[in-house]
């Protein structure tokens, strides 16, 4: 039996376990990436492990999230990351160099290699045939120290693409069609591979748009073959030596197979407040809009912005619309300027933002009250844009540009002939904003700078035998990490200050939660299905740990968040009977006997309420995860294994 693309990469990197569906495996990691919203915690964890030098082939620290500097906090974090990276052997991509996934695709991604990043959209690298996986920051720190990265061996899903895209239909419409087909839970526990003759019609930036939003399917990763298209992209980047062909074997076996004819697609939009709430743009045509944002790690490539510039050339943005454009990298920005496309964007009335995530994570450019914002981003969760009552629609750059002109949701096919956009054979290469680390000999002379906003990482503790506490919060299905630990310009500056950050925990759901948790000394949280979907931010586990949360009970968990809970010593428990969710109320006194014993050796346990109800819970853990919880979290577990006191 042959291998899929992902199985080939996993097999060549396997260091622990067997590649059996559902079993835990450990893989060697070639590259890591971090960004500044998660990176400070990662490097504090790396220091806590007392690791002097990273042991990966390549690790890169990017600054692309917290770039709005209204106080000293973000600037201090950037300086900390810059100096700790220099000391420990990590390359540092300075503010303004670009969004981590776009820059990594351009300058560092290699087909057939493994990459984990403390950002859920790390699978963007799958557009190059690289196995990119989003992970919690602590997992990234362990990998940088030379440790294996552990996942449950995924199912394999194949999506066969046929035909080619029609004019004004984009790669964004491909992934929105997949989201409409599979839903936000359709990729959970799976790696999605794209194949079929249709892949040859898609450029690497288009492929990367599709793999980027595989995160919204809940997938472990998404990946395309590495083929002649990949080779041409790497040659344009001056990296043809990094090219390796890789494709699935003809007799590879997939758990699920889907067919998608690219020629049958039309412009689509994900409606508020979920990426899988997908409708045809023609059905929404005429809806008044207030704002358009083009950019993010999903749609900020040179190809995307050249298409936008061609549509806007000689036209003007509607007076009722504010249009922002964020180039994905300095490379993209420079080339737009050199070819004149930047002038076309500016002349049309676009507001050019810096090469950063910006509005995607609520870092500026929030819509007006009850505003309608069209965005080429990957998530439209409630409140993520910075305005809680805004409606955010996810669309392609082509739909965004056409709508910006007319002031209403617009199907770009009404514009007539689609502009022809071609990429240059060679991109403009200038890595002057990527700092190289000190040599091992020089490292001892590097001083790591810490500002007053940087606080130590909270430490987990080993579980007690009996847990008796209150259920202090009950939430519904599809709770995201944006619900648990919001982002935005007011909150992100405190990512390295967990005590301050805790004041915002779950306030989207319940403004009184932080105070209640502190007053009660912690407790248990009850969630619905797919609890913790969205961003990989480990702060969604780290902050609840600080507030005394000892366990989370849910119908089901998103992959990365479940791993993050375990990493910080919080026990993830699932209801054996999902209907039991309705039997529990906020404020219930909960008792779990034999908790530690169950973590040691059992897959089930019983939770009792003060009024006599007994609910069966499942504890689906690997042997390694049990050891981590018994140690009080991955940081403590790693320190114990290394003999660090």
Q: Which helix (H) or strand (E) holds 26?
A: strand 24-27
pLDDT band at residue 639 using 50, 70 and 90 as cut-offs: confident
Residue 12, token pair as written in the block:
């060549």
**Percent of the chain scoring above 90 in pLDDT:** 91
Q: What average pLDDT does the segment 63-84 reach?
A: 93
CATH of the domain at 630: 3.20.19.10
446 in a structural domain? no
pLDDT band at residue 536 using 50, 70 and 90 as cut-offs: confident
Predicted local distance difference test score (pLDDT) of residue 20: 96
438 in a structural domain? no
Say whether both 239 and 280 belong to one domain: no
Q: Are 108 and 31 in contact (CB under 8 A)?
A: yes
Say whether both 179 and 97 belong to one domain: yes
pLDDT band at residue 484 using 50, 70 and 90 as cut-offs: very high
Q: How many CB atoms lie within 10 A of CB 603?
A: 10
Q: What average pLDDT does the segment 156-161 reach?
A: 98
Say whether both 379 and 480 belong to one domain: no
Q: What average pLDDT does the segment 93-114 reach?
A: 98
| Structural domains in the chain (count) | 3
Say whether both 206 and 272 belong to one domain: no
Say whether both 16 and 100 belong to one domain: yes
User: Quick check: 284 pLDDT over 90?
Assistant: yes
Q: What average pLDDT does the segment 381-405 reach?
A: 95
Give the C-alpha separation, 149 to 132, whole Å: 12
Predicted local distance difference test score (pLDDT) of residue 634: 93
Residue 107, token pair as written in the block:
């300058």
Say whether both 252 and 272 belong to one domain: no
Sheet with 291-294, strands from edge to edge, namely 278-280, 268-270, 391-394, 372-375, 291-294, 322-325, 351-352
What is the biggest distance separating any 2 CA atoms in the chain, rounded to whole angstroms?
A: 72
User: Quick check: 540 pLDDT over 70?
Assistant: yes
CATH of the domain at 332: 3.30.499.10
167 in a structural domain? yes
Say whether both 474 and 611 belong to one domain: yes
pLDDT band at residue 362 using 50, 70 and 90 as cut-offs: confident
Instruction: Give residue-wise pLDDT tens across range 410-435.
Output: 999 999 999 889 889 999 999 999 99
389 in a structural domain? yes
Give the C-alpha separation, 174 to 207, whole Å: 10
The DSSP symbol for 17 reads: S
Say whether both 551 and 613 belong to one domain: yes
- Burial class for 239, CB neighbours closer than 10 Å (0-12, 13-18, 19+): middle
203 in a structural domain? yes
* Boundary (domain end) residue, out of 264, 283, 303: 264
Q: What average pLDDT does the segment 226-238 reach?
A: 98
Instruction: Give residue-wise pLDDT tens across range 301-353.
Output: 999 999 999 999 999 999 999 999 999 999 999 999 999 999 999 999 999 99
CA-based nearest residue to 140, from 105, 115, 121? 115
Structural domain boundaries, residue 232: 5-264
Distance of CA 287 to the CA centre of its chain: 30
Instruction: Give residue-wise pLDDT tens across range 24-64.
Output: 999 999 999 999 999 999 999 999 898 899 999 999 999 99
* pTM of the shown model: 0.94
* Boundary (domain end) residue, out of 264, 284, 315: 264
Q: What distances in angstroms separate CA 549 from CA 461, 484, 502, 505, 513, one per listed residue?
A: 11, 12, 12, 12, 12
User: Quick check: 492 pLDDT over 90?
Assistant: no
439 in a structural domain? no
* Boundary (domain end) residue, out of 264, 286, 302: 264
31 in a structural domain? yes
Say whether both 345 and 479 belong to one domain: no
Q: What average pLDDT does the segment 108-136 reach?
A: 97
Give the C-alpha separation, 351 to 515, whole Å: 40
pLDDT band at residue 640 using 50, 70 and 90 as cut-offs: confident
Q: Give 85 or 386, the one with higher predicted confidence.
A: 85
Instruction: Give residue-wise pLDDT tens across range 173-184.
Output: 999 999 999 999
452 in a structural domain? no
User: Quick check: 571 pLDDT over 70?
Assistant: yes
Place of tokens 């014993």: 597
**Percent of the chain scoring above 70 in pLDDT:** 100
Residue 557, token pair as written in the block:
């968990």
Q: Report the C-alpha dihedral over residues 515, 518, 520, 523, rounded to 10 degrees.
A: 100
pLDDT band at residue 644 using 50, 70 and 90 as cut-offs: low
Q: Which residues lie below 8 Å from residue 359, measured CB to CB, with a gap of 6+?
A: 293, 295, 296, 324, 326, 353, 365, 366, 375, 377, 385, 386
Say whether both 319 and 238 belong to one domain: no
Residue 319, token pair as written in the block:
């007076």
Say whether both 390 and 530 belong to one domain: no
Q: Which helix (H) or strand (E) holds 93?
A: strand 91-93
Residue 359, token pair as written in the block:
């509005």
Instruction: Give residue-wise pLDDT tens across range 240-254.
Output: 999 999 999 999 999
Say whether both 300 and 237 belong to one domain: no
């Amino acid at each position: 039996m042959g291998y899929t693309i992902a199985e080939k990469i996993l097999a060549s990197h396997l260091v622990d376990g067997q590649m059996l569906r559902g079993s835990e495996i450990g893989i060697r990691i070639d590259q890591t990436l971090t960004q500044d919203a998660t990176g400070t915690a990662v490097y504090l964890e790396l220091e806590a492990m007392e690791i002097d030098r990273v042991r990966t082939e390549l690790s890169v620290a990017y600054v692309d999230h917290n770039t709005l500097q209204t106080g000293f906090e973000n600037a201090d974090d950037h300086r900390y990351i810059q100096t700790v990276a220099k000391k420990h052997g990590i390359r540092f991509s300075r503010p303004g160099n670009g969004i981590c996934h776009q820059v990594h695709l351009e300058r560092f991604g290699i087909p057939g290699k493994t990459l984990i990043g403390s950002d859920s959209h790390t699978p963007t690298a799958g557009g190059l045939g690289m196995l990119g996986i989003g992970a919690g920051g602590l997992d990234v720190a362990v990998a940088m120290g030379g440790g294996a990265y552990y996942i449950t061996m995924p199912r394999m899903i194949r999506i066969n693409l046929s035909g080619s895209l029609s004019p004004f239909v984009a790669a964004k419409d491909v992934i929105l069609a997949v989201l409409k087909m599979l839903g936000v839970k359709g990729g959970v526990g799976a790696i999605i591979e794209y194949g079929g003759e249709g892949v040859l019609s898609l450029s690497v930036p288009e492929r990367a748009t599709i793999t980027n939003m595989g995160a919204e399917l809940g997938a472990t990763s998404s990946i395309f073959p590495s083929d002649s298209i990949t080779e041409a992209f790497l040659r344009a980047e001056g990296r043809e030596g990094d090219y390796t062909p890789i494709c699935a074997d003809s007799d590879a076996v997939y758990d699920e197979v889907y067919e998608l004819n690219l020629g049958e697609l039309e412009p689509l939009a994900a409606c508020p407040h979920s990426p899988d709430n997908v409708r045809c743009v023609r059905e929404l045509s005429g809806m008044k809009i207030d704002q358009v944002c083009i950019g993010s790690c999903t749609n900020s490539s040179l190809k995307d912005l050249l298409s936008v510039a061609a549509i806007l050339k000689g036209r003007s943005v509607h007076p009722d619309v504010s249009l922002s454009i964020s180039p994905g990298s300095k490379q993209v920005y420079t080339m737009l300027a050199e070819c004149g496309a930047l002038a076309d964007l500016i002349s049309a009335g676009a507001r050019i933002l810096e090469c950063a995530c910006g509005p995607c994570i609520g870092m500026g450019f929030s819509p007006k009250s009850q505003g309608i914002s069209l965005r080429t981003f990957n998530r439209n969760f409630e409140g993520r844009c910075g305005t809680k009552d805004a409606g955010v629609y996810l669309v392609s750059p082509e739909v965004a540009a056409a709508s910006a002109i007319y002031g209403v949701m617009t199907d770009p096919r009404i514009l007539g002939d689609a502009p022809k956009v071609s990429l240059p054979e060679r991109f403009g290469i200038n890595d002057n904003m990527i700092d190289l680390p000190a040599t091992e000999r020089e490292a001892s002379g590097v001083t790591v700078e810490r500002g007053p906003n940087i606080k130590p990482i909270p430490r987990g503790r080993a579980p007690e035998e009996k847990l008796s506490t209150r259920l202090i919060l009950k939430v519904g299905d599809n709770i995201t990490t944006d619900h648990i630990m919001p982002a935005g310009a007011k909150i992100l500056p405190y990512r390295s200050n967990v005590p301050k950050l805790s004041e915002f925990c779950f306030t989207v759901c319940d403004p009184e939660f932080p105070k209640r948790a502190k007053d009660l000394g912690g407790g248990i949280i009850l969630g619905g299905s797919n609890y913790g979907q969205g961003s990989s931010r480990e702060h969604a586990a780290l902050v609840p740990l600080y507030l005394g949360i000892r366990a989370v009970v849910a119908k089901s968990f998103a992959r990365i968040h479940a791993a993050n809970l375990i990493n910080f010593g919080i026990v993830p428990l699932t209801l054996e009977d999902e209907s039991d969710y309705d039997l529990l109320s906020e404020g219930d006194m909960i008792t779990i006997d034999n908790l530690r014993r169950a973590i040691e050796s059992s897959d089930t346990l019983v939770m009792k309420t003060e009024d006599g109800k007994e609910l069966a819970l499942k504890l689906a853990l690997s042997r390694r995860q049990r050891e981590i919880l018994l140690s009080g979290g991955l940081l403590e577990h790693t320190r114990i294994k290394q003999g660090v006191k």
